[in-house]
Amino acid sequence: MLRYLTAGESHGRAMVAVLEGMPAGLKIDLDFINHELRRRQSGFGRGTRMQIEKDKAQIISGIRKGLTLGSPITILVENKDYSIERLPKVLSPRPGHADLAGVLKYGFADIGNVLERASARSTVSTVAVGAICKLFLNKFKIKIISKVLSIGGQEEISAMKERIKQTIKNKDTLGGIFEVRAKNVPVGLGSYVQPDRRLDARLAKEIMAIPGIKAMEIGLGFGYAERFGSEVHDAIYYNKVKGYFRKTNNAGGIEGGISNGEEIIIKACMKPISTLLKPLDSVNILNKKPAKAVVQRSDICVVESAGVIAESAVAFVLTDAFLEKFGSDSLNQIQKNYQNYQKGLR
């Protein structure tokens, strides 16, 4: 089983991830991991923190002479803005964030104890883990990409940018919709035998765990609700060259919780960032008097980077399902198992 844990606070010393279950023999490309971390920081509408942090990964366990050992891989990304002990108390929770629910749950008298961990800064670890999973999937020609579909209801790139510019002037924030596609995924990942083994359920869990994601769909998604079955189910064909194939992909590459060999297509909605430069009404958690929500250094729009994070989430799920199907000890053995499986499908 592939699994990972993350640790670290937004303004703490570092962000850390421990990835367990990656097979032995995978060559680790640190430049690629750092490239993915830079992609996470990109996008029109990002805030000033992206100008401070130049995220670079350090791998401090699980690797020898550039190859994975099969033991846990620890990745560390230091925070340049290491100021957690100097930060003042935060007393006015932001609507839309974990601030109020967090202090009520844990009994804190300082919202900073919540927002430091609830911050999307934690996705640094997600992307670092996802980069290693992408390196694994690349061995089997599985590619994962993302793109922004709309921001603030606008679908043209120029209109999206204008919408963001106006939002910056208005001291507001914007959300939007992005798409993730996984190409060359083999048939047979996931299972229908238990709910927690269904590939679509596993993908939904990881996508919805990304801070700020409020909705997602696979393939046609909500479009199924408006059409007849005869219009939406992907007819099946066969020839000796292609084997089984489809002419449509409304299922988004998954049927019955199992990958069907078609491209996996996911769409997700990222809400507007909760920190507003013109803050909404709130309440001081100590004296219970009306107050404006705290203003933290933040972004205006992060839909593009949310897509990059979602790529990593998809990469992790597909790698986990791939290892479940083809073995998990050594890359060499997995490659042999995969080749034999592919021959059997023909």
Mind giving me the DSSP string for 191-245? -SSSGGG-HHHHHHHHHHTSTTEEEEEETTGGGGGGS-HHHHS--EEEETTTEEE
Nearest in space to 266 (alpha carbons), one of 177, 135, 329: 177
pLDDT at 49: 52
Q: Are strands 254-255 and 281-283 parallel, antiparallel or unpaired?
A: unpaired
Mean pLDDT of all residues in 334-343: 96
DSSP SS3 for 78: strand
Other C-beta atoms lying within 10 Å of the C-beta of residue 325: 18
Share of the chain above pLDDT 70, in %: 98
Identity (one letter) of the amino acid at 228? F
| The pLDDT of residue 308 is above 60 | yes
pLDDT at 43: 84
Q: For residue 47, what pLDDT band results from cuts at 50, 70 and 90?
A: low
| The pLDDT of residue 295 is above 80 | yes
Let me know: does 8 contact 113? Beta carbons within 8 Å: no
| The pLDDT of residue 74 is above 90 | yes
Alpha-carbon span 212 to 126, nearest angstrom: 14
Tokens at residue 344, please?
Answer: 């059997």
DSSP SS3 for 280: coil
pLDDT at 242: 87
Alpha-carbon span 135 to 26, nearest angstrom: 8
pLDDT at 50: 53
Alpha-carbon span 75 to 58, nearest angstrom: 6
pLDDT digits (tens, 9 = 90+) for 108-127: 999 999 999 999 999 999 99
Q: For residue 44, what pLDDT band results from cuts at 50, 70 and 90?
A: confident
H helix count then E strand count, the chain: 10, 16
DSSP SS3 for 111: coil
pLDDT at 297: 77
Look-up: residue for tokens 């729009």?
301
Let me know: does 150 contact 333? Beta carbons within 8 Å: no
Nearest in space to 285 (alpha carbons), one of 57, 38, 16, 105: 105
Rg, the chain, Cα only: 22
Helices of type H across the chain:
30-40, 49-52, 99-106, 112-118, 123-138, 157-169, 199-208, 229-232, 303-326, 331-345
pLDDT digits (tens, 9 = 90+) for 29-43: 999 999 999 999 988
Alpha-carbon span 14 to 80, nearest angstrom: 8
| Long-range contacts of the stretch 168-173 (C-beta < 8 A, 24+) | 168/45, 168/300, 170/278, 171/276, 171/277, 171/278, 172/272, 172/276, 172/277, 172/278, 172/300, 173/272, 173/273, 173/274, 173/275, 173/276, 173/298, 173/299, 173/300, 173/301
Mean pLDDT of all residues in 46-73: 86
Other C-beta atoms lying within 10 Å of the C-beta of residue 5: 12
| The pLDDT of residue 197 is above 70 | yes
pLDDT at 54: 85
pLDDT at 52: 63
CATH of the domain at 329: 3.60.150.10
pLDDT digits (tens, 9 = 90+) for 143-196: 999 999 999 999 999 999 999 999 999 999 999 999 999 999 999 999 999 999
Tokens at residue 169, please?
Answer: 């002037």
> What is the residue range of 141's domain?
3-345
The total domain count for the chain is 1
Alpha-carbon span 66 to 53, nearest angstrom: 26
pLDDT at 241: 87
Let me know: does 55 contact 124? Beta carbons within 8 Å: yes
Mean pLDDT of all residues in 73-97: 96
| Mean pLDDT, the chain, integer | 95
pLDDT at 226: 95
Let me know: does 274 contact 207? Beta carbons within 8 Å: no
| The pLDDT of residue 247 is above 80 | yes
Alpha-carbon span 247 to 39, nearest angstrom: 33
Alpha-carbon span 253 to 245, nearest angstrom: 11
Q: For residue 46, what pLDDT band results from cuts at 50, 70 and 90?
A: low
